[in-house]
Amino acid sequence: MSVDAETETEGPPLGAWELPEELVMLRETVKGFMDREVHPLESTLPHDAAGLPREQLLPLQEKARQLGLWALQTPAEYGGAGLSVLGQVVVAEEAAKCRMGAFFPALGAFGGNPPNVMFKASAEQFEKFAQPILDGQMSKAYTAISEASGGSDPARAITLKAVRDGGEYVLNGSKMWTSHAENADWGVVYARTGEGRAGISCFIVEKGTPGLTFNRIGVMASFSPFELHFDDVRLPASNLIGAEGGGFKLASDFLIYSRIIYAAGPIGIAQEALDTACRWAKDREVFGGKLADKQGIAWMLVDAEVQLRAARLLMYQAAWNADLGKDVKVDASIAKMYGTEVAYNVMDKCIQVHGALGLSDELPLERWFRDLRVKRLGEGATEVQRVVVARELFK
């Protein structure tokens, strides 16, 4: 789906949010894929499994490709589906409704998307690095921005140095909290080549480059990020994306939209948890009646439903405005902040309704709870989003 920014000026009127028919059909396609392919496969895996073995992932991805569920975020001019931002959040919400959904939506079936910054790369860079991902010949690439000195303010916190040496750049320093790094074929790394925001550059780093090492970082979630160490890592100057010093602008161009899409996963997971809690409450016998008949429980679930509806509408509105070409910096921050906070709070309620069972690995609730705690920090912590909104309020 695409929206013509020249002919459309406003989104649907307040209270009249209804997805376009083609996105309803897409949502049903994703839901059917999850029911037929993802849930049965995931049920065979350990509770805290993080990703599929390659021999299981590739057949699953091929089934997704046959349904057109591939390279959904990649613009059509690069050979992708060119799905709108609104379409992307619809898919992301539904694909997250599995045990691994926080970090492996649909178990990684819907691949084919290179890092967004590659759409600003040269034709040669795109052909060598991004095209194999689109074609399914390479796994997804990682993006390394955050460092130990601070992840929420990368413009000032980036200390990884890249020094020009003839036809090469030499990188020294480290990156933190980088997802999917160890098994990726290559990654996009942001390093400092000068002072301030104008001193950040973006590089492609291939797997196996001498001087690059990875260390797994144990966290409370079931999925572990990595620390990357650069010890005199030499890159050809041709691995620089865009102009030297243009890295911050490249990252900023895509970070805003990604916050909207990021909110969709936690909302989808929380909705699945709420549906599970409602079924449990209708069946569970306590004190001579159903748990659902207890007003304290019923109202707890009602509050969760109201919060999720509000979070979804904020996300839809931000996505719609993004598709209209509007400035959605504040919209994106609100959607990300509210969506992840609500999802975490709803999950807490759902665990409470299930009692001790909610804490066990008989259900995915406790895993989701840990994963959603991480989501409140990713793509800019809640407090960072509040800073963005506050700046707009006090202009």
Q: Kindly state whether residues 323 and 271 are assigned to the same domain.
A: yes
Domain boundary among 220, 241, 262: 241
Q: Amino acid identity of 222?
A: S
Q: Is residue 189 part of a domain?
A: yes
Q: Kindly state whether residues 316 and 377 are assigned to the same domain.
A: yes
How many Å apart are CA 93 and CA 90, to the nearest integer? 5
Q: Is residue 3 part of a domain?
A: no
- Residue 188: name the closest of 167, 168, 211, 207 by CA: 207
Residues with a known catalytic role: 379
Domain count across the chain:
3
How many Å apart are CA 351 and CA 343, to the nearest integer? 12
Q: Kindly state whether residues 365 and 260 are assigned to the same domain.
A: yes
The domain of 283 spans 249-393
For the chain, counts of helices (H) and of strands (E): 12, 10
DSSP 200: E
Q: Kindly state whether residues 112 and 224 are assigned to the same domain.
A: no
Q: Kindly state whether residues 273 and 375 are assigned to the same domain.
A: yes
Angle, CA 99 vertex, CA 95 and CA 104 arms, to 5°: 50
Domain boundary among 241, 276, 294: 241
The pLDDT value given to residue 3: 41
Tens-digit pLDDT string for the chain (395 aa): 344 444 444 555 444 468 999 999 999 999 999 999 999 999 999 999 998 998 999 999 999 999 999 999 999 999 899 999 999 999 999 999 999 999 999 999 999 999 999 999 999 999 999 999 999 888 789 999 999 876 566 667 899 999 999 999 999 999 999 998 888 999 999 999 999 889 999 999 999 999 999 999 998 888 889 999 999 999 999 999 999 999 988 888 788 999 999 999 999 999 999 999 999 999 998 888 899 999 999 999 999 999 999 999 999 999 999 999 999 999 999 999 999 999 999 999 999 999 999 999 999 999 999 999 999 999 999 999 999 999 999 98
Q: Angle 21-33/85-95 helices, nearest 10 degrees?
A: 30
Q: Amino acid identity of 150?
A: G
How many Å apart are CA 334 and CA 352, to the nearest integer? 27
Q: Is residue 14 part of a domain?
A: no
Angle, CA 378 vertex, CA 377 and CA 381 arms, to 5°: 40
CATH no. for residue 181? 2.40.110.10
Q: How many CB atoms lie within 10 A of CB 258?
A: 19
Q: Kindly state whether residues 387 and 255 are assigned to the same domain.
A: yes
Domain boundary among 134, 165, 182: 134
Q: Is residue 121 part of a domain?
A: no
Task: Supply φ then ψ for residue 203, to 5 degrees.
Answer: -130, 150
Q: CB of 27 within 8 A of CB of 83?
A: no
Q: Is residue 77 part of a domain?
A: yes
Looking at the DSSP bridge assignments, the partners of residue 191 are: 201
Q: Kindly state whether residues 41 and 81 are assigned to the same domain.
A: yes
Q: Kindly state whether residues 155 and 235 are assigned to the same domain.
A: yes
The β-bridge relationship of strands 212-216 and 168-178 is unpaired
Q: Kindly state whether residues 217 and 334 are assigned to the same domain.
A: no
How many Å apart are CA 113 and CA 90, to the nearest integer? 17
Backbone φ/ψ region at 180: left (φ over 0), alpha (ψ -120 to 50), beta:
left
CATH no. for residue 45? 1.10.540.10
